[in-house]
Amino acid sequence: MECTVSWTGAAGTRSGMGFVAETGSGHVLTMDGAPDAAKPENGGQNLAPRPMETVLAGTGGCTAYDVVLILKRGRHDVRGCSVRLTSERAAAEPKVFTKIHMHFTVTGKDLAPAAVERAIALSHEKYCSASIMLAKTAEITTSFDVIEA
């Protein structure tokens, strides 16, 4: 896996904190920093997600992918899956994630809550490399709702 991240600056001025990532699979992702009122040249323009937001989003995508795939492989009639992630970060640099909570909403026909719970557990214990990696610094908790379709 590979990725190239390039600083874009603000509208070509080479100030600001905008970046473009080109992934090995040929996709583009933009990122930006938070504005800095004290030193505008060192801050972003709030035009895209922060890099750490993309880490959190990627983790949500990784685990939701696993949950859907595990349920489908188990021949469960899953029709929707979303996960809302909330997090806390350390106050001091490097400001790693210290707590992450993932709340899954899984929709399907006759989905057994035990099957959803098992899929979430398998993702976090075995398959989702992103959440397993983040668990080295963060306490990760999960909850879920099952919605009948």
Whether the bond between 94 and the residue before it is cis, its omega within 30 degrees of 0, is: yes
* pLDDT mean over 10-19: 73
CA within 13 Å, CB half, 85: 24
**Does the pLDDT of residue 82 top 60, yes or no?**
yes
Residue 56 has φ and ψ, to the nearest 5°, of: -65, -45
**Does the pLDDT of residue 6 top 80, yes or no?**
yes
Residue 45: what pLDDT? 86
Q: Where residue 39 falls among pLDDT bands split at 50, 70, 90?
A: confident
Residue 12: what pLDDT? 58
Domains along the chain with CATH numbers? 3-42 (no CATH), 51-148 (3.30.300.20)
Q: What is the pTM of this model?
A: 0.91
* pLDDT mean over 5-20: 79
CB 53 within 8 A of CB 28: no
CB 76 within 8 A of CB 109: no
**Does the pLDDT of residue 61 top 70, yes or no?**
yes
Provide the 10 A C-beta neighbour count for residue 148.
Answer: 9
Cα separation, 138 vs 120, whole angstroms: 17
